[in-house]
Structure 1
Amino acid sequence: MTGSFSFVLDYILDNYGTDNIFWTMYFINLILSAIAYKLGFARKLSVGKNIFVYFMLVLGNYITTIFSIMKLPMTESLVVICIVLIIYRTRLHMQRKAKNAS
């Protein structure tokens, strides 16, 4: 064990090498960040504001990817955030459905 908590990065390095590692991690982090934003924080916005929010997400993801490459568990944290938000949204949906049924 190398003391690294970045299981996703280690998996990609072991199986696919270092070719395009930054862009691979960038797009993984971008997808997970967009899912987390959509599940937890997104509100009804106008198209222009929505474009601005996702543009800032694309820019801010650059820093997250740098931390991921430095073997910090950024991608793993995004996975956990997405799982928790999916569970929360599912339970909220089931509670609203049960409330409307009764």
Structure 2
Amino acid sequence: MSFVHEFILDSFGVGNIFWIFYVINLVLSAVAYKLGFAKKLPIAKNIIVYLLLMFGVFILTIFSTVMRMPTVECLLVIIVVLGIYRLRLHNERKE
């Protein structure tokens, strides 16, 4: 079961749960994209990438709220792993 889902239900109720999860998933997905996959792109392509990310997160939020899948927890694990990878890569390049 999703711990974040239960926490948000207890804290905020069911009124705006979809939009709360949408914002959480969007922020975490953008951070994961930036840590692991982002390259230097022109501004127009960057806008297109983030618009497509916003659309994909909308679909991901449906899984997160309706089907109660632990997408927020998975995104947190992804961010931790990519953060460790980037830190080690930075340390190796410094040497």
Q: TM-score range by the shorter chain?
A: over 0.9
2:22 is aligned, of 26, 45, 59, to: 26
2:46 counterpart letter in structure 1 = N
What value does the CA root-mean-square deviation take over the aligned residues? 0.7
Taking the aligned partners of 1:71 and 1:50, their CA distance within structure 2 comes to: 31
Q: Which residue of 2 aligns with 1:86?
A: 83
Residue of 13, 27, 36 corresponding to 2:9: 13
Fraction of identical pairs, as percent: 59
User: Does 2:81 correspond to 1:75?
Assistant: no
Q: Distance in 2 between matches of 1:9 and 1:44?
A: 35
| Structure 2 Cα separation of the partners of residues 15 and 46 of structure 1 | 41
Distance, in Å, in 2 between the alignment partners of 1:15 and 1:48 is 39
TM-score scaled to structure 2, two decimals?
Answer: 0.95
- Which has the larger displacement, 10-19 or 53-62? 10-19
DSSP-derived class of the 1:72 partner: coil
- Who is 2:61 aligned against? 65
Number of equivalent positions: 94
**How many Å apart are 1:58 and its aligned residue?**
0.3
Structure number with bigger Rg: 1
Structure 2 CA distance for aligned equivalents of residues 19 and 68 of structure 1: 15
In structure 1, runs of 5+ residues without a counterpart are: none
Residue 35 (structure 1) aligns with: 31
Matched position secondary structure for 1:83: helix
* Pairwise CA distance, 1:49: 0.3
Q: TM-score, normalised by structure 1?
A: 0.89
**Which structure 2 segments of 5+ residues have no match?**
none
